[in-house]
Structure 1
């Protein structure tokens, strides 16, 4: 699922530290990330943008399911950012978007 790859730069420039922390907490609760990974993202990156980049890259390495869970949490925790990124939590709706690529 390359949905997160598509929105990576927008996510990095728009997400707040608060939302990022909430997303990390939620993903630890869902066992998508472990406590160590969460700490690593927060402590190794001083700048908010670097934390966000590291977050997206870590989740993407975990595969499709992790990406879908992350998108769902983002929809709940920051609906406005979710819609700005034009993400879609419904996989069947994403199929339709693929058709709209310009040649």
Structure 2
């Protein structure tokens, strides 16, 4: 699953809205994939939308296939159009 995230990273960065990024961060926090510090770091240290999206994908893919699978599942439920565009 981490390989899938790496493959779609560029298109995710181009496609994800600020709202989608925040929703995914909340979902991944609830699932225990990310902790509060990681979520806050992604939001506060990255001013631009694209930088937040890039940092989110990188943080999740480093955590492995299980975490990546959870992000993809949440992406599918939150924004099927983006998911379809990414080929997930």
Deviation readout 1:39-79 (Å, 9 max, x if unpaired): 00000000000000000000000000000000000000000
**CA–CA separation in structure 1 for the residues paired with 2:67 and 2:85:** 21
Larger Rg: 1
**CA–CA separation in structure 1 for the residues paired with 2:15 and 2:86:** 9
Q: Which residue of 1 aligns with 2:24?
A: 23
Q: Which runs of 5+ in 2 are unaligned?
A: none
**Larger proportion of helix:** 2
Q: Which residue of 2 aligns with 1:90?
A: none
TM-score by length of 2: 0.97
**CA–CA separation in structure 1 for the residues paired with 2:36 and 2:20:** 17
Deviation readout 1:3-33 (Å, 9 max, x if unpaired): 0000000000010000000000000000000
Pairing 1:56–2:66 present: no
| Pairs aligned (count) | 87
Higher relative contact order (Cα pairs below 8 Å, separated by 6+ residues): 2
**RMSD of aligned C-alpha atoms?**
0.5
Runs of 4+ residues deviating >6 angstroms: none
Q: Which runs of 5+ in 1 are unaligned?
A: 88-103
